[in-house]
Amino acid sequence: MTPPVRPVLPTFQQELDPLLLMPVRLFIACLLADGEWSDDIAVRSALQLGERSFTTHVECLRAAGYLEVRTQGGRKKLRMAPLGGDRFAEHVGALSRVTFAAVKLLPTTRRPRGDGEL
């Protein structure tokens, strides 16, 4: 009797954070992962984003409780909130496990492809 097959995909779907699946939001979280206040223009410039797009992503993360935003001297400052830090760490750990599982699924040897072969 063979052991039951453990479903891989549903476990990863539960561990990955839907808000951080979008690379822009993941990169914002990466830049703010240290928990320090950062100037919004510096973060936006690092990602080479337009103001409108950046503001949309920041507001989404703020509304979810992942980021804190404050105005200081007419400038906006951003930092990762404790919830955001926790979710970011969990998400990155899950991404690591997904990557490890994907690598295990790769064939150990690859045969060369002929012309026109798919």
Q: Which amino acid is residue 88, in one-letter code?
A: F
Confirm if 74 and 67 have CB atoms less than 8 A apart: no
Q: Find where tokens 């002929």 sit.
A: 114
**Domains of the chain, first to last:** 15-95 (1.10.10.10)
The C-alpha atoms of residue 115 and residue 89 are separated, in whole angstroms, by 45
Tell me the pLDDT of the chain (118 aa) as tens digits. Answer: 666 666 655 566 678 999 999 999 999 999 999 999 999 999 999 999 999 999 999 999 999 999 999 998 889 999 999 999 999 999 999 999 888 888 888 887 666 666 666 6
Q: How many CB atoms lie within 10 A of CB 110?
A: 7
The C-alpha atoms of residue 29 and residue 18 are separated, in whole angstroms, by 13
The C-alpha atoms of residue 45 and residue 27 are separated, in whole angstroms, by 12
Residue 65, both tokens? 């409780």
